[in-house]
Amino acid sequence: MKKFIYKNRIPLICVLSVICVVSLGMLGYKLARHYRPDWFRYHASEETLELLEQVGLTFGHLNTTGVFPKDLGLTRKQPRMVLEDVNGGLLVSKGVFIHPVPLNPNYPIKNIDFAQLRQVNGDVTGYLEIENMDVVSYPVYYREGTDYYLKHNRYLEYDIYGELYVEGKISNAHSRTNTIIYGHNMRNGTMFGSLRAYKNAEFFPGHEFFWYYTPKGKYRYQIFSVYETRYDSDTFTWFKEPGQEYTNYLTKMKSQQKYETGVTPDPTDEIITLCTCTSLGGVYRLVLQGRLVYKEE
């Protein structure tokens, strides 16, 4: 009987030993994670390091660091490098990588009083402003199913100069893919008259961002394509949601650019199209298209 008990103690001792080893290992792991987190940092591949270098050149004034944040739900099984702007920039998706688009420290983000604007006209739906270009700073209006504000002002009076307005066929003044905003090309540079400066590639640097404010939030867009097209081209198309058709659309819009902007839209990007008349003739329009890179709701 004693001999039988002794033989069965060996497996029990082994089990207890394994439990002790595992417990010590878990304790050591937690201590190491706490005191030496650098041991567990994701190590980038050579390809990733090249991309990091490219982003560093593009955003050379940023202090960028490769990180592996848990809040993005990334693990070692999903080897995606993340760039973090320690100066407080924005992380936005670009393909399978994430890169920072810094906010402009010289641009004061606005707090638009939509209640006051609606006292004048209840059709106001947003407010558009281009960074470093104060002349473009206007309320945007919307009346479903019509281009009413093409020739009416905010006081509902007939006015050939109109107002900035969202394409009336877009439901609720907003498209998940492409929201289109029209404005007249005024000779004195007001409304969308100053957009003609974008025809010159030398003007683009420093003027590549615009803001669209709504009662819901504040949104910053980065212009990715500037070109001229017919009023009936497929530029003026929007989609219920992102998909292959939308991806093809973005590729085509980018390919039409008059000059390289250095920005390529992502297939899931939400964009805004700014449209005005152009000197090419009555059927042609000057178009600026920007991708959403920041939102505060």
The candidate with the shortest Cα–Cα distance to 198, out of 79, 91, 288, is 288
pLDDT number for residue 199: 94
Q: How far apart are CA 292 and CA 111, in angstroms?
A: 19
Q: Which residues of the chain have pLDDT under 70?
A: 1-12, 15, 29-101
Question: pTM of the predicted model, to two decimals?
Answer: 0.70
Q: Measuring CA to CA, which residue among 149, 44, 40, 178 is closest to residue 98?
A: 44
The pLDDT of residue 50: 54
Residue 276: the pLDDT is 95
pLDDT score of 82: 45
Q: What is the pLDDT of residue 46?
A: 54
Question: Could you tell me if 246 and 191 are in contact, meaning their C-beta atoms sit under 8 angstroms apart?
Answer: no
Are the CB atoms for 100 and 85 separated by under 8 Å?
yes
Q: Which two tokens stand for residue 35?
A: 């005191």
Distances (CA, A) of 32 to 27, 29, 39, 152, 292: 9, 5, 8, 68, 40
Residue with tokens 């993340």: 82
* Structure confidence by residue, pLDDT tens digits, 106-145: 889 999 999 999 999 999 999 999 998 888 999 999 999 9
Res 13: pLDDT: 72
**pLDDT at residue 85, rounded to an integer:** 44
Which domains, and CATH codes, for the chain? 41-101 (no CATH), 114-296 (2.40.260.10)
Model pLDDT, residue 40: 45
Q: Count how many Cα atoms sit within 13 Å of the Cα of residue 181 in the half-sphere of its side chain.
A: 27
- Amino acid occupying residue 204: F
Question: Among all chains, which residue has been given the structure tokens 């001229």?
Answer: 228
* 191, two tokens: 């409304």
Sheet with 82-85: strands ordered across: 64-67, 82-85, 97-101, 90-94
Taking only the tens place, the pLDDT of each residue in 186-195 is 988 899 999 9
- Compute, in degrees rounded to 10, the torsion defined by CA atoms 254, 184, 108, 131: 40
